[in-house]
Amino acid sequence: MKIVRVCIFPKDIHCITGRSERYGRKLLQDIRKHFDKEPHQFITVEEFAEYSGIKEEIIIQYLEQIS
């Protein structure tokens, strides 16, 4: 069984959305505020999918392809 990452990083958002990596960092900050997380806490695939409206399966497929 192949293990897929659980966390989303700015580079992932850059590749998924086609936006800049800086946009990815800003989006992660916005998601942390939305879910009332501390700055040091990670954002999961599930949280990113819920916030962005992108299906979780699509994000997981992307993570499987790059790993």
Q: What is the pLDDT of residues 28-61, one digit of tens each?
A: 999 999 999 999 999 999 999 999 999 999 999 9
pLDDT digits (tens, 9 = 90+) for 8-25: 999 999 999 999 999 999
Ranges of each domain in the chain: 10-66
Provide the Cα torsion 32, 36, 42, 45; round to 10°: -80
Q: Identify the pLDDT of residue 1.
A: 58
The residue with greater pLDDT, 5 or 44, is 44
Task: Fill in the DSSP letter of residue 4.
Answer: -
Determine which helix (DSSP H) or strand (DSSP E) holds 14, and give its type and residue range. helix 10-17
